[in-house]
Amino acid sequence: NDGLWDWDIQQNKIYFSPRWKSMLGYTDSEIGNRPEDWFGKIHPADREQVEKKLNRHLEGMTSHFESEYRILDAEGVYRWVLCRGLAQRDKHGKACRIAGSQTDITDRKIYNPITGLPNRMLLLDRIERAMKLTKPHGSPFAVAAVGIDGLAAVASSFGHVQADQLLCQAAHKMQECVSKQDTVAHFGNEDFVLLLEGISDGKQAAIAAARILHALEQPFQIGDPTVYVVPYVGITLHNAEYLYAEDLIRDAYAAMRRAKEETKTRFEIFDCKIRDCAVARLKMEADFRRAMDRGEFKVFYQPIVNLKDGSLKGFEALLRWQRPGGLVYPKDFLNVAESTNLLIALERWVLLEACLQVARWQKESRRPLTLNVNLCPQHYGSPELVKDLLKILDRSGIKPGTLCLEITESAFMEGTDDISRILKQIQEMNVHLHMDDFGTGYSSLSYLHQFPIDGLKIDSSFVGRLGMSDETWKIVQAIVSLGHSLEMKLVAEGIENLLQLRMLQTLKCEYGQGYYFAKPMEAAAIENLLANEIPWSMVFDKNVLTFNLSQEAI
């Protein structure tokens, strides 16, 4: 199926076979025998490198000539070809002739090999065409970036074959929910980008996004298992300010990232604020990479109080970033830490720093202080976690049984077998494990039986509503009762007033933390706290501990 060519260099004439011409849609008479009949049809962006490679071979610098490039066909469309050739030389070694073949590789170059969808190259071409057609009064269009969370879990749990099946099914679902003139492109991994024709405003874009989300939220059947994924959509509307197709794709991705990080609807329409946020995020990422070397990260400590007598039980270590310009909280930089792949290294530093600090306080104050540290779900899946913990415990000299790691429900979704094994190893090191934000997930109860959890942290969203509704009281009562029946320790988060404290005491919740007692503090402030009388001790005076819970209080 290859087209052949034969160039007589001395006469500067080229023979092009009928197949060479027909694969580009030309008749015999439409292509002459001049080199310019060939090179004049090569894409301007490719011609220089083709001529450079050809000349290098003719000069004897390479064993053969080979180049991939775009060439214009009879319909005015550029096709990708692979051209190979070998020079024939005279007795002096000078090239006098070169012959070779031309292969059409358009499908390989512009379609994704897994899904068969157009790839980035073809989509860019189609967007550029759409941009030309909109001038001056053509049809409007939009570009949508679609991200799919869950592919990595499928690949690790079932294999890459099943992950590829999921991608193909996702591609089919998206093709089914858009019109025939639209383009669904696959950029690789779980990233898809769509060219949506005829969309001119935010309302139409929202309808299109809702269709895509609904299609991808339906279950995927990949063999026996049924799999669900979490999709996100970002859409940018074309306007006259866009000069390049790449800019439309860039802004669609920015909107998709915003949808993933900050919106409940899981779709976002691009506006200038998103671009400003994207630029600010890039700056934050750059600052973040330098922050560890500059020592800008600080560990703050929030007291955890024994709710029975007001004594200080210990602390939760909380990370803060002392960025030039002000203090930055984890909710504002954890996504950046994840994207830079520095989150686990940062948490490892927090563990060591906090263990060293609490070990010093234990020695100086002669108190059996405890330390709670929250780790991200990815960290619990790290094979290095157990080794790191052993080194940190040994180096810090912290007392056995002091450290408690907090784990959120999402960590259990990273792969239950591996997580279970790692958690058991951690427990064998006399490190406690508490489930953080208990009651906010869907499967918390089942995890209590599967994993070696010995404590529950009652989420602040429940504690904050105590005294506001009978329903909240019953939920917290049920959590405390469950914890007691399983012989687990209970810690209430987010205690902000005396009423909440008294209600938790009535339920016999053992421990609590929150602004009512103290905000997270730097180490120096904690040392002052340890050296003086506990400021909240008067609240636990035996004369005021009685609390009669009435319906009015609820």
CA geometry: angle 392, 397, 398, nearest 5 deg? 85
Please state, in angstroms and rounded to a whole number, the distance separating the CA atoms of residues 414 and 57: 53
In one-letter notation, the amino acid at residue 84 is: R
pLDDT at 249: 96
Identify the DSSP state of 308: T
| CA distance between the termini of the chain | 82
Measured over all CA atoms, what is the biggest interatomic distance in the chain, rounded to whole angstroms? 113
Is residue 96 within 8 Å of 88, Cβ to Cβ? yes
CA neighbor of 458 nearest in space, from 514, 498, 414, 541: 514
pLDDT at 134: 75
Adjacent-strand bridge partners of 335: none
Among all chains, which residue has been given the structure tokens 């059409």? Answer: 104
Residue 214 Cα to chain centre, angstroms: 21
Please state, in angstroms and rounded to a whole number, the distance separating the CA atoms of residues 174 and 27: 39
List, in order, residues 6 or more apart from 97 with CB less than 8 Å away: 6, 7, 8, 9, 10, 87, 88
pLDDT at 541: 61
One DSSP character per residue, 361-406 reads HHHHH----EEEEE--HHHHT-TTHHHHHHHHHHHH-PPTT-EEEE
Please state, in angstroms and rounded to a whole number, the distance separating the CA atoms of residues 195 and 209: 12
Domains by residue range for the chain, with CATH? 3-108 (3.30.450.20), 113-270 (3.30.70.270), 291-540 (3.20.20.450)
Please state, in angstroms and rounded to a whole number, the distance separating the CA atoms of residues 77 and 73: 5
pTM over 0.75: no
Q: Using 70 as the pLDDT threshold, list the residues of the chain that sit under it.
A: 136-138, 263, 412-417, 441-444, 446, 537-538, 541-554
pLDDT at 49: 96
How many other CB atoms are found less than 10 A from the CB of residue 44? 7
pLDDT at 16: 97
